Amino acid sequence: MSASDDIPPPLATPTRVRFEGFVLDTANRSLGRDGVPVALNARYFDALVLLVREHGQLVGKQRFFDEVWAGSVVTDAALTQCIKEIRRLLGDDAGRPRFVRTVAGHGYVFIAQVHDDTESVGVPTDAPAPVEAGSSVGKPPTDSDEPLQPALARVMRDGAAATAGGAAAGLLGGLLYGSALAVAPQSQGLGTLSILMVLLALSLAVGMAGAMGVGVGMAAGRLRGSAAGMLAGGAVGGLVVGGLVRLLGSDTFTLLVGRAPTGITGGLEGAVIGFALAVGVFLGGGLEQPRGWRPAWSAALSTGIAGALVTLAGGSLMATSLMRVAATFDETRLDMAPLGALLGEPQLGMAAQAALGLLEGGIFGGCVAAAMLLARGQGASGMQDPQGVRRHPR
C-alpha cells in the first residue's frame, strides 16, 4: 500500500460547515452564499472541500494532485487556475486574502473561520438559479474576478510596473547604441555626449510607450483569468502603441524636414513583441504564483526570438529603424557601420540586424517582466521554489 492510500478522499466525511456568508454541504455537494447556490465544477469543489476541511493548516500542492487530481497528469498551472476560480467565486483577493492564502512555493491555507452548520436548513430548493461561474457572487457581474475598483487599480499597477521596465530597457538600449554610434568618424562633429543623449531619449521614450501598452493590455486581458486574454491583450497593446509611435514619428519627420523614412518600427512589430512577451510570461508560470525569475527569463527568451524573426521577415526594431532613417536622409551624420562592425560585418547586414533584434527583444521582454514581478513582490519570494513548473505523473 502506498502512502497516498492512507489519505482519505476530500469527501470521506460528509459535513456541513459555514464560513462568513457561505455554506458548504459536502453531503449534497453544494455551495451557497446567503441562500443562493454557487456553481462550482466537481474538481474545484473537491479542492475547496480539501481546503476547508484542513482550515488553518497548510495544504501542500502534492496533496491537491494526489486527492483532487488522483490518477491524472497535471501541471502546476491547473492548480493555479483552480485556486483562482475558487477565489473568484468567494470574492477573494490574492493580494489581500480573506479565505485562501498562498504560501509561496508550498501550497495554500484556508484562513477564514469555519463553523459547524449541521442545524441550518441550508440552501433552499426553490432558490434562484445558480450564479454563473464567471460572475461575482452577491454583486453585479463584472469582467473581473474582483470588484471593479481593485481590478482597475491592478491594471494601473501592472501598467506602471511595465512602464518602469520599459524605461530600464530603453536606458540599456540607448546606452548600447549611443556608445557605439558616438565613436563613428562621421558623427564626431555632433559630439559624443549629444549623440548619446539623443539616442537615450529616443530609446527611453519608445521603450516606455511600448511597455506601457503591452503591460496594460496583458493586465486587462487577465481580468477574466484567461491565458488567451493575456496573450491577446499583450498583442493588442503592442499593436496600438507601435502604430502610434510610427504615426507620430512619420509626422514629426514630415513636419521638420518635409519627408518621412519608410519601414520604421510600427504596429505589426509591436503586436509581435507584445504577444511574445505575454507568451514568455505564461510559459514561465505567469505572474500570479511565485516562480522566482522564471517568467522574466522566459519572456526575455521569447521576445528575443521574436525580435530576431521580425528583422529577418523585413520588419524593424530600433537598430533597423535607425538604419532606415540614415538611408533616407543622405545628409545625416548617423553611421550604423560601427554596430555592424561589432558583430563582424562591415555594414549593418541582415545577420547583424537579426542579432540586434534578438538583443533588443531580450532586453525589453526581460526588463518588463522583471518589473512586473517586482511590483507584485514575487521575484524574491519565488526564488524559494526551485522546482517551478513541473508535471506530476501517476
Average pLDDT over residues 308-314: 91
- Model pLDDT, residue 379: 46
Alpha-carbon dihedral sign for residues 122, 125, 126, 129: positive
pLDDT at 299 > cutoff 50: yes
Rg, C-alpha atoms of the chain: 26
Direct distance between the N- and C-terminal alpha carbons of the chain, in angstroms, rounded to an integer = 15
The most confident of 215-224, 232-241, 381-390, by mean pLDDT: 232-241
133, 126 Cβ separation under 8 angstroms: no
d(CA 325, CA 318): 11
Instruction: Give 287 or 369, the one with higher predicted confidence.
Output: 369
**Surface-to-core class of residue 393, CB atoms within 10 Å of its CB (0-12 exposed, 13-18 middle, 19+ buried):** exposed
Q: What's the one-letter identity of residue 21?
A: G
Please report the pLDDT score of residue 393 as a whole number: 40
**Could you give the CA distance from residue 41 to residue 45 in angstroms, rounded to a whole number?**
6
CA distances for 394 relative to 1, 3, 62, 69, 72, angstroms? 15, 13, 11, 10, 7
Kindly state the percentage of the chain with pLDDT values over 90. 16
pLDDT over threshold 80, residue 150? no
Segment 348-359 mean pLDDT:
84
Least confident segment among 113-127, 221-235, 331-345, 348-362? 113-127
Domains annotated on the chain, with CATH: 3-116 (1.10.10.10), 148-384 (no CATH)
Check if the beta carbon of residue 279 is closer than 8 Å to that of residue 302.
Answer: yes
Residue type, 111: I
Model pTM greater than 0.95?
Answer: no
pLDDT in tens, 80-120: 889 999 998 898 888 889 899 998 888 999 998 888 776 54
Count H helices and E strands in the chain, helices first.
11, 8
Nearest alpha carbon to residue 168 among 124, 204, 132, 114:
204
Spatial distance between the Cα atoms of 258 and 328, rounded to a whole number of angstroms: 12
pLDDT at position 231: 87
Examine the pLDDT at 188 and tell me if it is beyond 80.
no
